[in-house]
Amino acid sequence: MAAATTSLPEEVCGVRNWDSRFCWLRDATYTLYALLETDFSEEAKAWRDWLLRAVPGSPKQMQIMYGVAGERRLTEFELPDLPGYEGSRPLRIGNAASEQLQLDVYGELLDSAYLSRQRGLHGIEAGWNLARALVSHFETIWTQPDDGIWEIRGPRRHFIHSKVMAWVAVDRAVRIIQEFKEDGPLERWIRLRSDIHDEICRLGFSRDLNSFVQYYGSKELDASLLILPCVGFLPPEDPRVKGTIAAIEKNLMKDGLVARYNTRSSVDGLPGNEGAFLACSLQLWDGRQLRPPAPHR
């Protein structure tokens, strides 16, 4: 059983206690990036092959996580008589987030497909057929609110991170067609990429805060916004990126570590607080060293 934080008192961990014995497509793609960057090509190919076995079917049925053997049914239930990690309650088996809509997953999958091609992992017909089908389905749903990267248990929102990764999905599909001569509706997807980018910049940036915000119409910050320059959505020197980083440092960082968002005023639907999120802290520290693709504006 995994908790959102470690070595914290029960009133902090509280209900933020989840069963994480599964394979999140998002997290797995980050592992794939690391394998490709360090020349573990055979391991990267093995993960890609696992993905192609786990995901196929109707794009509407794609989940954001699977069992390690590709299981799809991950029904969540509680065991109230047993304590979870560090005494957190309730103890949960399974994970209801497997049924959520998280639009960013499309971006991570297409980004990993593009990076695989760049690193010499040869494309296969089944892989591009799957990617093309996912983007075609994605065209019909990207305007919907979703549950977001943090798997919100509250109302769905138009989360900026999700929309940015929506842009990434289309951008990487366009790049694969252009650079690797795959077949696809190039001009339509170029227009879609531009539409998504324009909407995010118009609805996702707060001039009052001089920062991108957690979701459309919000005044809240979110550490997931640190991804913007890393994926090539905007260059690091863009004033909007600099303003976002400065706002996150001011409002979400304590003792050099970054929280995901302000849990006291967030829409995650859960009581209690939590500690810093190490992945976001590392992203803030090392983001300037990344070499993202050149942005398309």
**What's residue 271's pLDDT?**
64
**Residues 1-27 pLDDT 10s:** 333 433 444 444 456 677 888 888 888
CB atoms within 10 A of CB 291: 6
Distance CA 251, CA 222 (A): 10
Bridge partners (DSSP) of residue 92 are 78
- Which residue's entry shows tokens 């957690």? 214
DSSP state of 8: -
Q: How far apart are CA 155 and CA 136, in angstroms?
A: 26
Secondary structure, 3-state, 60-120: HHCCCEECCCCCCCCCCEEECCCCCHHHCCCEEECCHHHHCCCCHHHHHHHHHHHHHHHCC
pLDDT of residue 220: 94
Output the DSSP codes for 208-259.
TTTEE-SBTT-----GGGGHHHHTTSS-TTSHHHHHHHHHHHHHHEETTEE-
CB 270 within 8 A of CB 15: yes
Q: What pLDDT shows up at residue 122?
A: 73
Domain boundaries of the chain, sorted by first residue: 207-290
pLDDT given at position 256:
85
Task: State how beta strands 65-66 and 253-254 pair.
Answer: unpaired
Count of other CB atoms within 10 angstroms of residue 242 = 15
Q: What are the distances in angstroms from CA 273 to CA 31, 259, 268?
A: 28, 10, 11
Q: Which of 173, 239, 232 is nearest to 205 (CA)?
A: 239
Residues of the chain with pLDDT under 50: 1-13, 287-297
**DSSP H or E segment with residue 18:** strand 17-18
Q: What is the pLDDT of residue 295?
A: 44
Give the pLDDT score at 283.
80
How far apart, in whole angstroms, are the C-alpha atoms of residue 237 and residue 8?
37
Q: Which amino acid is at 178?
A: Q
Angle 265-141-203 (CA atoms, 0-180°, nearest 5)? 45
User: Distance between CA 106 and CA 166 in Å, rounded?
Assistant: 7
Q: How far, CA to CA in Å, does 21 sit from each of 10, 74, 100?
A: 22, 10, 17
pLDDT at 247: 95
Return the ∠ at Cα 84 (arms to 79 and 88), rounded to 5°.
110
Question: Which contiguous run of DSSP H or E holds residue 280?
Answer: helix 278-286
